[in-house]
């Protein structure tokens, strides 16, 4: 437990001391914040000791005040019993998460534990079904199996720490752990994107050049696409984590998110983020848009080819092979676009909710999308179940 001493410019000549967790501090703190709206500040006489969720509650409460009221709290002096390196680098951060209300923590824990287990089981089943059925040993399902593996890694970077924080009094994460989480979050998220691009190329070759499919989508070419899909994201992540590591965090160490993401960290910095934002808008945008352009060009070529098919049955058959992939692409890129394609200053709580879609919900839904909408995968799953029962 770490203590926090807040010295306020307060409204009366009485000294009050509140100490403890959120349950003990919430009612008097609410009363204090209400009085702040109405009363003129006189002198600095109040000391409030806060720990754990009480501190998070104060942060969220003051953040919701009007500008003129937040000015009253702008002179808050926060001193924590934690080591800071020359007032530029905290030893740990506090993750506000999805909610600071004590009654929400256990239901959220159960919800996200269930999502995590479903994600693990679903993606492992997809991998086993692909590698146990010789009919699924094709480039498309090779990339799908890798996508399932990456989705497991992607959610494991985020959800286990969330689960721990739901049950912990203090939702802290060390500085080094925060950077590691950010690195692998960026890496696996971009690997997902590049794998979706590789799968789009596979669908383009299969539909537009079916007679050259085996020679074009050779084992060597698939491995090359896989290397690119891993190498670029890992280098991209290394660059951005290095740039974040150069920033100074001397004002606050409270991250208004449920994991260490780039935008909340940039908003937290008290040094210039100009270089970070320029790199995001140039290198970051080019890394993100490369697989996006592959997907767009591939499906435009597919659309042109399908429209030339005379029969309606032929058109349906061609489009049906792309349905699952298009659904995943729409879910993944739709939520990412909402979060990242907007100014840093407009990053709000709604972006936390949108982030849940591409970090947690999409990896959970992928196995269902590919198994329910794909005839070959259904057959592969049936064969896997029969094989398991026969053993």
pLDDT tens-digit map of 187-201:
999 999 999 999 999
Among 47, 81, 115, the domain-final residue is: 81
Checking if the pLDDT of 85 tops 80, the result is no
CB atoms within 10 A of CB 233: 23
Task: With respect to residue 371, please indicate whether it lies within any of the assigned structural domains.
Answer: yes
157 close to 192: Cβ distance less than 8 angstroms: no
Q: Which residue has the higher pLDDT, 250 or 48?
A: 250
Among 22, 50, 81, the domain-final residue is: 81
The dihedral over CA atoms of 218, 222, 224, 227, expressed in degrees to the nearest 10, equals -160
* Residue 9: domain span: 4-81
Residues 35, 158 within the same domain: no
Among 48, 81, 114, the domain-final residue is: 81
Give the chain's domain count.
2
Task: With respect to residue 95, please indicate whether it lies within any of the assigned structural domains.
Answer: no
Task: With respect to residue 96, please indicate whether it lies within any of the assigned structural domains.
Answer: no
Task: With respect to residue 270, please indicate whether it lies within any of the assigned structural domains.
Answer: yes
Residues 320, 244 within the same domain: yes
Instruction: Give the CA count within 13 Å in the CB-facing half-sphere of 5.
Output: 8
pLDDT given at position 341: 64
In DSSP notation, 14-34 reads ------SSHHHHHHHHHHHHH
Residues 63, 21 within the same domain: yes
Residues 6+ apart with CB under 8 A from 113: 163
Confidence band for 348, pLDDT divided at 50, 70 and 90: low
Per the listing, tokens 């698939």 go with 222
Task: With respect to residue 93, please indicate whether it lies within any of the assigned structural domains.
Answer: no
Checking if the pLDDT of 185 tops 90, the result is yes
133 close to 75: Cβ distance less than 8 angstroms: no
pLDDT given at position 30: 52
Task: With respect to residue 148, please indicate whether it lies within any of the assigned structural domains.
Answer: yes
Give me the chain's average pLDDT, please: 78
Residues 47, 191 within the same domain: no
Residues 144, 77 within the same domain: no
Whole-prediction pTM value? Answer: 0.77
Residues 61, 172 within the same domain: no
pLDDT given at position 346: 55
Residues 202, 324 within the same domain: yes
The distance of Cα 45 from the centroid of its chain, to the nearest Å, equals 42
- Beta 92-95 vs 254-255: how paired, if at all? parallel
Residues 22, 143 within the same domain: no
Task: With respect to residue 27, please indicate whether it lies within any of the assigned structural domains.
Answer: yes
pLDDT given at position 221: 96
pLDDT given at position 48: 42
366 close to 148: Cβ distance less than 8 angstroms: yes
92 close to 174: Cβ distance less than 8 angstroms: yes
Residues 252, 316 within the same domain: yes
Residues 121, 39 within the same domain: no
Residues 35, 142 within the same domain: no
CATH number at residue 326: 1.20.1070.10
Q: For 89-124, what is each residue's pLDDT tens digit? A: 778 899 988 887 889 999 999 999 999 999 999 999
Residues 57, 106 within the same domain: no
pLDDT given at position 87: 47
Task: With respect to residue 323, please indicate whether it lies within any of the assigned structural domains.
Answer: yes
Instruction: Give the CA count within 13 Å in the CB-facing half-sphere of 204.
Output: 16
């Amino acid at each position: 437990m770490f203590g926090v001493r807040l010295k306020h410019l307060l409204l009366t000549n009485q000294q009050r001391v509140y100490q403890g967790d959120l349950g003990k501090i919430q009612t008097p703190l609410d009363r204090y914040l209400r009085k702040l709206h109405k009363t003129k500040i006189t002198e600095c006489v109040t000391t409030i000791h806060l720990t754990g969720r009480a501190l998070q509650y104060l942060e969220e409460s003051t953040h919701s005040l009007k500008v003129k009221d937040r000015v009253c709290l702008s002179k808050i002096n926060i001193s924590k019993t934690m080591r800071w390196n020359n007032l530029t680098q905290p030893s740990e951060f506090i993750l506000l998460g999805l909610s600071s209300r004590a009654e929400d923590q256990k239901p959220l824990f159960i919800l996200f534990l269930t999502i995590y287990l479903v994600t693990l089981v679903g993606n492992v089943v997809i991998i086993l079904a692909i590698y146990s059925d010789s009919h699924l040993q094709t480039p498309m399902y090779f990339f799908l199996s890798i996508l399932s593996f990456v989705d497991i890694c992607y959610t494991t970077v985020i959800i286990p720490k969330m689960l721990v924080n739901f049950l912990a009094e203090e939702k802290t994460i060390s500085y080094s752990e925060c950077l590691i989480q950010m690195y692998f979050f960026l890496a696996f998220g971009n690997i997902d994107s590049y794998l979706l691009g590789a799968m789009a190329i596979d669908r383009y070759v299969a539909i537009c050049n079916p007679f050259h499919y085996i020679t074009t989508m050779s084992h060597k070419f698939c491995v090359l696409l896989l290397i690119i899909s891993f190498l670029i994201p890992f280098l991209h992540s290394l660059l951005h984590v290095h740039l974040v590591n150069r920033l100074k965090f001397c004002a606050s160490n409270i991250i208004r998110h449920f994991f260490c993401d780039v935008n909340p960290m940039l908003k937290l910095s008290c040094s210039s983020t100009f270089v970070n934002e320029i790199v995001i808008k140039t290198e970051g945008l080019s890394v993100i848009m490369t697989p996006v352009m592959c997907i767009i060009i591939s499906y435009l070529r597919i659309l042109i080819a399908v429209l030339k098919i005379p029969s309606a049955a032929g058109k349906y058959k061609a489009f049906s092979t792309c349905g699952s992939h298009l659904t995943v692409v729409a879910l993944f890129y739709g939520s990412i676009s909402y979060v990242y394609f907007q100014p840093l200053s407009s990053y709000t709580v709604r972006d936390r909710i949108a982030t849940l879609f591409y970090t947690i919900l999409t990896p959970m839904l992928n196995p269902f999308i590919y198994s329910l909408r794909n005839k070959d995968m259904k057959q592969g799953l049936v064969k896997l179940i029969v094989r398991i029962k026969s053993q």
